[in-house]
């Protein structure tokens, strides 16, 4: 009479110490160990598997994330200015503790590595002129007398530090008593 060979216990293998595990996990663990043994060492498994005809697949598909889009400098300036909404107006101020109009512009662009003067009229000499109809976010918007400046944010609006007693705010260009007299683009695009 032919007898079936006795099942080999994991603790009977001299190179493998006993591993406590649930019986339901023993079969998948042994199957994985067998696949790795056939494929070679674990370090060479990826290189050996195609050569030996093994096809190791995963039920999980992996895709590289989309390449992050870097915003243009003007867009980043507009976002930085937007983050300062609500900061109080302080004459001569150029920090989140308080801003005047040119101090807000100077502070925002300094965060982006661009040094600008702390004076609205002096800012009018920075960058290059832009027609008002061609403004993009981040462009500087100037008003009569060059005594006030804001940062254009799109859709006919700007962020600025208006005057004493008020806070940094978004305002429509056509809501001011005087229309803009010019715009400058300090951000290359």
pLDDT of 67 reads 79
For the chain, list the strands marked E by DSSP.
Answer: 94-95, 98-99, 128-130, 140-142, 149-154, 157-160, 169-172, 182-185
What number is the average pLDDT over the span 139-167?
97
- The tally of domains found in the chain comes to 2
Q: Which residue has the higher pLDDT, 90 or 55?
A: 90
The pLDDT value recorded for residue 65 is: 74
Give the pLDDT confidence score for residue 171 in this predicted structure: 97
Task: Answer whether residue 65 is part of any domain.
Answer: no
Q: What's the pLDDT tens digit per position in 41-89?
A: 545 445 544 556 666 666 677 677 777 878 899 999 999 999 999 999 9
167 plus 120 within the same structural domain: yes
User: Do residue 108 and residue 181 come from a single domain?
Assistant: yes
**One domain for residues 131 and 89:** yes
**Residue 79 and residue 48 share a domain:** no
For the segment 124-129, the average pLDDT, to the nearest whole number, is 96
pLDDT, residue 45, reads 46
The pTM of this model reads 0.65
- Asked if the structure places residue 57 within a domain, the reply is no
**What range does the domain containing 110 cover?**
73-185
d(CA 95, CA 159): 15
Predicted pLDDT of residue 89: 97
Q: Judge if 148 and 177 occupy the same domain.
A: yes
Per-residue pLDDT at 34:
64
Judgement on whether residues 48 and 82 belong to the same structural domain of the protein: no
pLDDT at 10: 46
DSSP string, 170-186: EEEGGGSSS---EEEE-
Which residues does 25 contact at the CB level (< 8 Å), separation at least 6? Answer: none
Mean pLDDT of the chain: 82
Q: How many CB atoms within 10 Å of residue 73? A: 19
Q: What would the mean pLDDT of 85-104 be, rounded to a whole number? A: 97
Instruction: Please state the φ and ψ torsions of residue 34, each to the nearest 5 degrees.
Output: -65, -40
Residue 183 pLDDT = 98
Active site residues: 101, 148, 160
Report whether 183 contacts 140 (CB < 8 A): yes
User: 109 and 174, same structural domain?
Assistant: yes
- For the record, the structure tokens of 54 come out as 């093994």
State whether 89 and 21 are in the same domain: no
Residue 67 lies in a domain: no
């Amino acid at each position: 009479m032919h007898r079936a060979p006795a099942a080999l216990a994991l603790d009977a293998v001299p190179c493998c110490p006993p591993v406590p595990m649930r019986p339901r996990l023993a079969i998948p663990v042994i199957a994985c160990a067998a696949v790795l043994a056939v494929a070679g060492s674990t370090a060479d498994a990826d290189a050996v598997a195609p050569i030996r005809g093994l096809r190791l697949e995963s039920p999980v598909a992996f895709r590289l994330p989309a390449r992050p889009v870097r915003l243009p400098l003007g867009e980043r300036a507009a976002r930085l200015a937007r983050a300062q909404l609500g900061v109080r107006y302080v004459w001569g101020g150029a920090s989140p503790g308080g801003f005047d109009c040119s101090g807000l512009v100077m502070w925002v662009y300094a965060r982006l590595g661009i040094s600008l003067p702390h004076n609205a009229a002096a800012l009018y000499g920075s960058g290059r002129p832009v027609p008002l109809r061609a403004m993009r976010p981040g462009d500087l918007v100037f008003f009569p007398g060059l005594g006030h400046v804001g940062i254009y944010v799109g859709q006919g609006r700007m962020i600025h530090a208006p005057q004493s007693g008020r806070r940094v705010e978004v305002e429509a260009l056509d809501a001011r008593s005087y229309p803009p007299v010019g715009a400058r683009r300090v951000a290359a695009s």
